[in-house]
Amino acid sequence: MGQNSSIQPIRGMQSLLGDEAERMHHVVRTFDRVRALFGFRRVEVPVLEPTAVFARSLGETTDVVSKEMYTFEDRGGDSVTLRPELTAGIARAYVSEGWQQYAPLKVASHGPAFRYERPQKGRFRQFHQLDAEVIGAAEPLADIELLCFADQLLRELGLDEGVTLQLNTLGDPETRTAWRTALVDYFSGHRGDLSEESRERLERNPLRILDSKNVGDQKIAADAPTIDDCLTPQASDFFAEVTAGLDSAGVRWTRNPRLVRGLDYYRHTAFEFVTDRLGAQGTVLGGGRYDGLIENLGGPHTPAVGWAAGIERLAMMIDAAPAERMDAMLVPLGERAEREAIGLLNVLRQAGVAADMAYRGNMKKRLSRANAAGARFAVVLGDDELDRGEVQLKDLASGAQSAVALDSLAEALIA
């Protein structure tokens, strides 16, 4: 089908070719390599889930559920939703697919997610996430393992400079209840000075006031009770084990007592890897412990901890991805050579040589295309070479050229 200017992409959806696509693929390739080093098993979960999976896991009152989800009725009349993130689907699969038998389970996934929000730099309506979870482990070691995984991923992407791990504890349920009560008491005394949004949050979710972007709210929040005022000894010990483990592993971190998660199922460790390399300060990877999520989905009490990262945002920050280089570009001269080149291409590729063929143009144009493709060698074959059972192998970096027998070409290119 030819180009049709009347058919445009849906807003916030993007098609990528070349460097941008390579950057995203490089992020995923690096993630898959580090995942395997840490023993995280690859999982796949559906892009489409029953709406209840996200309403129960993310909370009916959150902006994601109330304003940003792609939700619709399918032809059977069921309410379904394109996933806005991956964790809820993995948790649902843990309950419904019998994955409990493998607990504690270290899993990792990546793929598209969808949110109907205003597109902006590094944010799209179809975006892509990396996701890592440890399910069925209550020990601080699981939190440490995940944070070490994230830290090594960012290092291998070359992003360890200018990215800071911010860490906080949200405590256990007793801690959270005490802190929530203390925050309600404190903010109620300042109700008249709070923004309208924060007054609404005071009723529903007072922790979210600490997240407010309103300058007046931020001044009031600066003197609000901290989580440390309410920590139980058990919660304090848990956080101390996590930070000691990070210190042992050489993972640098900084405490951010204002880092919160609004949903009630979050417990203990909360963290974000934050950068200022994208202009305004932004999170490139974030997560925490969510010991109550799987219960919300109808499963048994199951401790879990996980993180997610936006592939587009990471791809914007990395240097140019390593180019996929061609080993050889075939330059056939004449019809007979073109026919022979088709078979030769197949032989080379089956031997593990990355090879392509310049389809058209004179010798000069075809060699120019070989250079543009970043090929190491040009393989020139014409009638004279074929009669002798050989090809001309030209090193495109040095310009050196030599005759090589057809049946030993693959070996010469691999050497």
Q: Known binding site for L-histidine: residues? A: 85-87, 115, 129, 133, 261, 265-266
- Is residue 263 within 8 Å of residue 58, measured between CB atoms? yes
Using CB atoms within 10 Å of the CB of residue 372, give its burial: 0 to 12 exposed, 13 to 18 middle, 19+ buried.
exposed
- Is residue 282 within 8 Å of residue 122, measured between CB atoms? yes
Distance CA(396)–CA(370), nearest Å, equals 8
Query: What letters, b where the CB count within 10 A reaches 16 and e where it falls short, cover 155-194?
Result: eebebeeebebbbbbbbbeebbebbeebbeebbeebeeeb
The residue among 223, 268, 280 whose CA lies nearest residue 242 is: 268
β-strands 79-82, 70-73: how paired?
Answer: antiparallel
Helix (H) or strand (E) holding 91, with range, is helix 87-96
Residue 415 is encoded by which pair of tokens? 């050497």
β-strands 41-42, 48-50: how paired?
Answer: unpaired
What phi, psi does 331 have (nearest 5°)?
Answer: -120, 90
In angstroms, the Cα distances linking 168 to 67, 150, 172, 242, 244 are: 28, 16, 13, 10, 14
Residue 76 is encoded by which pair of tokens? 């059977």
The residue among 85, 134, 92 whose CA lies nearest residue 112 is: 85
Annotated binding site: 85-87, 115, 129, 133, 261, 265-266
